[in-house]
Amino acid sequence: MTGHTILGGKVHVYRRNGSSLWQCSTYLAGKNRRVSTKEKALSRAKDFAEGWYLELRGKHRRGEVKNEKTFRQAAKQFMREFEALAGGSRNPEYVQGHRNRLRVHLLPFLGQMGLSEITSGVIQEYRIHRHERGIQERGKAPARSTLHQEMVVLRQVLKTAARHGWLGALPDMTAPYQVAGKVVRRAWFSPTEYKQLYTATRRRAKKPKSERYRWHGEQLHDLVLFMANTGLRPDEVIRLEHRDVTIVEDDDSGETILEIEVRGKRGVGYCKSTTGAVRPFERLCESGACQRG
């Protein structure tokens, strides 16, 4: 290795064996720092190294030199771990959602900050930033659930940093001035409303306005019966494949029911239907509507 020093020995300019490009290095703020000059001529490499060092000193005086991991580095480590360890049990759309929230919102605001700089005050500034940006771009602030999901990702990144010893303690992420969210129950049909619904779909299936709509009316009627007797959400039904459903004899009740492997955001869960779902499922399969799997 060939080496030279400049600026009174504060900066080393060197070239590794087998390389045509010069490198430069210095020790600043408790850490060795190095970079390639991308120059082959020694004179130009020294000029680059001098400018690089003086710029680095200026950043250090202004407090811009980070001697710690940044939020961007912690986020990269979090996604690496999350995709490897939880990706197989989580819905791919859920994993992609985390990646998108980091890329679009969190990293542009927090990415260059050192982990110790992310305080409760900074997190509150992020909430204000998202509110103001939403008003400016769309005329309304982000929904409560949207900000909650972003806070979930932020907390997981900071927990990753703490596990690796990059962060001493997590900041308080409680939202001040926040009133309690309204507790609402998921909408549901009363027995009378459900009867009104399936009566209407059955009537339309038997007497369509046009013969060409008969098949569609029959599919809608069977889908209503299937969903009502399984309790599946619309998105879960959309993802359902034929291989996910098995007709079985229930040991406890002795009735014929469906056992369903449901793919949701938390991976695969299992569902038992009532007997009322069996015949609609069979008719859907006979019509070819459930042969996607």
**pLDDT by residue (tens digit) across 176-231?**
876 666 656 667 788 899 999 999 999 999 999 899 999 999 999 999 999 999 88
DSSP string, 9-22: TTEEEEE-TT--S-
> For residue 260, what are the CA distances in angstroms to 244, 253, 254, 256?
6, 17, 18, 13
Backbone angles phi, psi at 80, to 5 degrees: -60, -45
Q: What is the pTM of this model?
A: 0.51
Question: Which residue has tokens 């961007």?
Answer: 72
Given pLDDT bands bounded at 50, 70 and 90, which one contains residue 240? confident
Alpha-carbon torsion 200, 201, 203, 204, what sign? Answer: positive
Q: Is residue 244 pLDDT above 70, yes or no? A: yes
Tokens of 20: 């045509």
pLDDT at position 65 is: 64
Given pLDDT bands bounded at 50, 70 and 90, which one contains residue 131? very high
* pLDDT tens figures, 260-292: 888 766 667 888 898 988 998 888 887 765 554
Q: Where are the domains of the chain?
A: 2-61, 71-163, 191-286
Q: Is residue 146 pLDDT above 80, yes or no? A: yes
State the virtual CA torsion across 63, 66, 70, 72 in degrees, nearest 10. 80
Given pLDDT bands bounded at 50, 70 and 90, which one contains residue 152? very high
Q: Is domain 191-286 annotated with CATH 1.10.443.10?
A: yes
Helix (H, G, I), strand (E, B), or coil: what is residue 144? helix
More confident residue, 69 or 74: 74
